[in-house]
């Protein structure tokens, strides 16, 4: 789900890119099993929450709708 950020806000992009790197590392380490799927889902949730927090703190709230939608799709209710 993730991708490297290109919002032209350097602080926001840096925060999202760190979160994306962490998500990719977790995805690479996840086993092909139900437990691995849980680990991957948790990494996706952590990524989306980090990017959402950065949108709110560093990007004036712009772009947060996409991360809220991802969180809803992952079953968190958008938080």
Distance CA 66, CA 71 (A): 9
Compute the distance between CA of residue 60 and CA of residue 24 in angstroms, rounded to an integer: 26
Please work out, in degrees rounded to the nearest 5, the angle formed at the alpha carbon of residue 75 by the alpha carbons of 37 and 78: 130
Look at 5 and 39; give whichever has higher pLDDT: 39
* Closest to 25 in 3D by CA, of 35, 37, 40: 40
Q: Domain total for the chain?
A: 1
Q: Is residue 78 situated within a structural domain?
A: no
Residue whose C-alpha is closest to residue 15's, from 51, 67, 61, 68: 51
For residue 26, is it within any domain? Answer: yes
What is the mean predicted confidence (pLDDT) over 48-77?
A: 94
Q: Each residue of 26-62: pLDDT tens digit?
A: 999 999 999 999 999 999 999 999 999 999 999 898 9
For residue 43, is it within any domain?
yes
Residue 28 backbone phi and psi in degrees, to 5: -65, -30
Residue 4, in any domain of the structure:
no
């Amino acid at each position: 789900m993730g991708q490297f950020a290109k919002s032209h806000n350097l602080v926001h992009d840096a925060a999202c890119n760190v979160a994306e790197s962490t998500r990719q590392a977790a995805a690479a380490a996840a086993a092909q099993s139900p437990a691995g799927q849980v680990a991957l889902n948790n990494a996706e949730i952590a990524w989306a929450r980090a990017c959402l927090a950065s949108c709110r703190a560093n990007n004036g709230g712009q772009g947060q709708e996409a991360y809220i939608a991802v969180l809803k799709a992952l079953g968190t209710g958008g938080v």
